[in-house]
Structure formats: C-alpha cells, structure tokens
Amino acid sequence: MSGIVFDIKRFAIHDGPGIRTSIFFKGCPLRCWWCHNPESQKQGIEQLDFKFKGSTQIGWKTTAEELLKEAEKDRPFYEQSKGGITFTGGEPLMQAKFLIETAQLFKQNNLHLCLDTTGYASTKIFQEISQYIDLFLFDLKHLNAEEHQKYTGVSNKQILKNLSYLVEKGKEVHIRFPYIPSVNDSEKQLQEMASFLKELKQIKNISILPYHKIAQGKYEKLHFENKMNGIHEPSKTEVENVKIFFEKQGFDLKIGG
Ligand code: SF4
C-alpha cells in the first residue's frame, strides 16, 4: 500500500537517540495553536500558496519499500551512533495501516524505531504499533481536559489513556512537553503534570520544547489564522527554572527534542 509523507530529514539528532532519519507523515487530528508545521495538518497531498514563493506541493505518495531504500542510505551512521529511524509528522498514526506496514518492514531489517506521537488514536492502534516501536516520543501538552480541547482542538482523555497503556505494557516512553507561556506554564499546571507522571512510575525522561515564533512567517505566507499573537517566547531563565523544577521531582530533563 502507499501513504503520504511531506518531508524526510537525514542526520536528525533531536528526534531520539543517535543519528536518525526522520520521516514526516502527513495529516494530524490536532490543531495546536503553536504548530510549527501547519502545512502538515490536512490529510492528503495539497497545493499551498506561499506568498511570494507561489504554489508549492506539500506531500508525496510513497511506499514502505521506497522509504526503506531511503533509510538504508545512512545505516552505517545509525550503527555507529546507536540511532535509527523516527516516524513523525503530523501524526503518523493518522495513516495507521501504512505506518504499521512500514514499521514492520523496517523492523525486519533491524532498524531502531522511534514514534513521535500526539497519543491521539485508538488504544487498539497503539496495541498493534507497539510491537514494532522501540521508543515512543509522547507529546504531553496539557492535563486539563477543557484547556487541552481549547488549545489543540481535541480532548486529552484518549491521549492519557494511551500513555498509561504504553507504560503498563512496559514500553519505553519519553515525554515531550511543549512549554508555552500563558498556556501551560503555571506552577499549578507544572505540579499537576509532575504528579501525573510520577504516578506512572516508569517515566523518567522529559524533553522540554520551549515555544518559539519561528513558524509565524509561515502562517502569514499561507494566510492561516495565527492564534499565538501576544504570546511570548519563554526566556532562557524560565526554561531553566522548569527544567530544575522537574529535575527536583526525580526526572531526567533535556531542553529541545
Ligand atoms: S500535534 Fe504537532 S503537527 Fe499536530 S497540530 Fe499539534 S503541533 Fe501541529
């Protein structure tokens, strides 16, 4: 079968351990206000009109075999650095069948696999994909259900359920926390998140992804609504304080991917 990806990045070093090839799957069920890749959200190949640059095609059709061929180019680097492949997006699980087929083929070829996920899919899909994935990079954006709905367009109920499921199954999970002033930065919110993660017990690693305005130009060029006007980038000190806060609670912290 075929699926749609919109980017492949070789020599990625922020999407899991070692040197990796990151494969970006098109389509995402969330609509996060701070999304850096708004062009990735809609399913299917699309033509987008970038102001000044003109019309650009986002996404192309591909197969698991073609992706494997691409991934194989850097195998020596994966072996030297204990790296591998990261499926990211968008939300790769939006193309669950294609992702499962690809992951299965890659695993047969002894590649280390990470899945960068929003957690928003059925638990049945997580059950199936988890047999092929070595490490989940699991986004946790907000613990409050209403706030999560407001800022991402979906409830966090299923996301939290899937996170608990993976942990119970003994899968390796690293949390990715997009840290966004005035959205999820209050002391209360951070404390809630730390308590929730501590209850899950096996979670040790958290990456803080500080909000930055890098994608603002893209929103302008694409004439997409930008809801982040007035929200500032966190200062180095703010980010460092959050890092210290989680470290004091016993987690291993990283800033960035
Ligand atoms: S989950 Fe990621 S890709 Fe999807 S809308 Fe949010 S930031 Fe964008």
Q: What is the per-residue pLDDT across 127-153, written as a single tens digit (0 to 9) for each? A: 999 999 999 999 999 999 999 999 999
Q: How confident is the model at residue 196 (pLDDT cuts 50, 70, 90)?
A: very high
The pLDDT score that the predictor gives to residue 224 is 86
Among 117, 118, 179, name the best residue to mutate to test ligand 1's pocket (greatest count of ligand atoms within 8 A of Cβ): 118
pLDDT at 53 over 80: no
- Domain residues for the domain of 234 are 2-255
Atom of ligand 1 nearest to the CA of 89: 3
Q: How confident is the model at residue 220 (pLDDT cuts 50, 70, 90)?
A: confident
CB of 117 within 6 A of ligand 1: the answer is: no
Distances (CA, A) of 61 to 57, 113, 170: 12, 21, 34
Q: What is the per-residue pLDDT across 57-73, written as a single tens digit (0 to 9) for each? A: 999 999 999 999 999 99
Q: Is the peptide bond before 90 cis (omega within 30 degrees of 0)?
A: yes
Total domain count for the chain?
1
Q: What is the per-residue pLDDT across 80-89, written as a single tens digit (0 to 9) for each? A: 999 999 999 9
Among 5, 22, 25, 37, name the best residue to mutate to test ligand 1's pocket (greatest count of ligand atoms within 8 A of Cβ): 37
Q: What is the CATH number of the domain that holds 116?
A: 3.20.20.70
Q: What is the per-residue pLDDT across 32-51, written as a single tens digit (0 to 9) for each? A: 999 999 999 999 999 888 77
CB of 88 within 6 A of ligand 1: the answer is: no
Of the listed ranges 37-46, 95-104, 210-219, the one predicted with least confidence: 210-219
The pLDDT score that the predictor gives to residue 129 is 98
The pLDDT score that the predictor gives to residue 198 is 96
The pTM assigned to this predicted structure is 0.96
Cβ atoms within 10 Å, residue 18:
15
Q: Ligand 1: distance of its center to the CA of 31 in Å?
A: 6
